[in-house]
Amino acid sequence: MNRVISSFRDGKGFDIALVGAALLFLGIFAGLPLVYNVVMSFQAVDMFSLGTFARPFVGFDNYIAVFSEPIFWPVMRNTVVFVVASIGGQFVIGFGLALFFTLKFPGSTYLRGLFLVSWVMPGLVVGAIWNWILAGDFGVLNFALTGLGIIEDNIFWRSDTAFSLWAVIIANIWLGTSFNMILLSVGLASIPRDLYEAAALDGANGWQRFWTITLPMMRATIGAVISLGLIFTLQQFDLFAAITSGGPANSSNVAQYWAWDFSFRQYDFAKGATISVLMIALVMVASVIYVRSTRHEVRG
């Protein structure tokens, strides 16, 4: 008994207890639902069997059903466009801002702090504000674009099938840019200044310094930002609910919204779970890429 207590006090037992607590937490709140979700995707689920776990297994029937939905491919295409365009926009603008804020001008740290505002706002609120900005008749965006002469006639962002997905993408880029910027700023700050000085003396201009020093030194950070971005965009739901509700005519429907629609509007939990499983697979791929990119980290 004494041995147990002392091992607890002297580290090893304590370590195990800490890890155990974390694992237990993860298991109950993430592991079990995950497994439950996967199991459900292989079962026939309806309103009556929802309360029991003993439901008939139907093999890949749910998957076949989901794949043969007429909007399956459009939704997948929308999801890919949404993820790629959102991450691309957030990353490029976030990186640009991060680089901009490395120029230490008066008030730069406060200004950078202000960017975090977008991050603390709930998605539904952001969606509501963007609804006004994007409004076809009185929206500020149309006003600006026509004023600059970029477009002739007002665009009905939310109700035009050609633009509805992009309306959500624009709002999502705005929402995620500050997160990208902060993470990339931290990465930039950890690159020693004298490397840039050495490179400048070696004859590198600003562009060459960016390509040969900044980018390779930022590899791990960029990997982290993009894979976290993938997870955040795949779970972005509020903006769809607030701006387009997946419409019109599913033109802005994406996997995560579709899954919710199946489960909680059509009460077809099996199909909802099936789409979730497909998304889990995608996130797993991203996680592997992320872990690999940090493993190759080179510093100092």
Nearer to another protein, 109 or 208 (CB): 208
| Only segment of 61-69, 113-121, 214-222, 270-278 that touches another protein (CB under 8 A) | 214-222
Of the candidates 2, 48, 205, 281, which one interacts with another protein according to CB under 8 A? 205
Is 217 a binding residue for another protein by CB under 8 A? The answer is yes
SS3 sequence of the chain: CHHHHHHHHCCHHHHHHHHHHHHHHHHHHHHHHHHHHHHHCCECCCCCCCCCCCCCECCCHHHHHHHCCCCHHHHHHHHHHHHHHHHHHHHHHHHHHHHHHHCCCCCHHHHHHHHCHHHHCCHHHHHHHHHHHHCCCCCHHHHHHHHCCCCCCCCCCCCCCCCHHHHHHHHHHHHHHHHHHHHHHHHHHCCCHHHHHHHHHCCCCHHHHHHHHHHHHCHHHHHHHHHHHHHHHHCCCHHHHHHCCCCCCCCCCCHHHHHHHHHHHCCCHHHHHHHHHHHHHHHHHHHHHHHHHHHCCCCC
Of the candidates 199, 230, 255, 273, which one interacts with another protein according to CB under 8 A? 199
Distance of closest approach, residue 112 Cβ to another protein, in angstroms: 23
Of the candidates 204, 278, 283, 289, which one interacts with another protein according to CB under 8 A? 204
Of the candidates 54, 117, 120, 201, which one interacts with another protein according to CB under 8 A? 201
Is 203 a binding residue for another protein by CB under 8 A? The answer is yes
Of the candidates 197, 249, 264, 292, which one interacts with another protein according to CB under 8 A? 197
Is 192 a binding residue for another protein by CB under 8 A? The answer is yes
Is 135 a binding residue for another protein by CB under 8 A? The answer is no
| Only segment of 17-25, 111-119, 146-154, 196-204 that touches another protein (CB under 8 A) | 196-204
Distance of closest approach, residue 199 Cβ to another protein, in angstroms: 7
| Only segment of 51-59, 71-79, 117-125, 207-215 that touches another protein (CB under 8 A) | 207-215
Enumerate binding residues for another protein (CB under 8 A). Answer: 192, 194-195, 197-205, 208, 212-213, 216-217, 219, 298-300
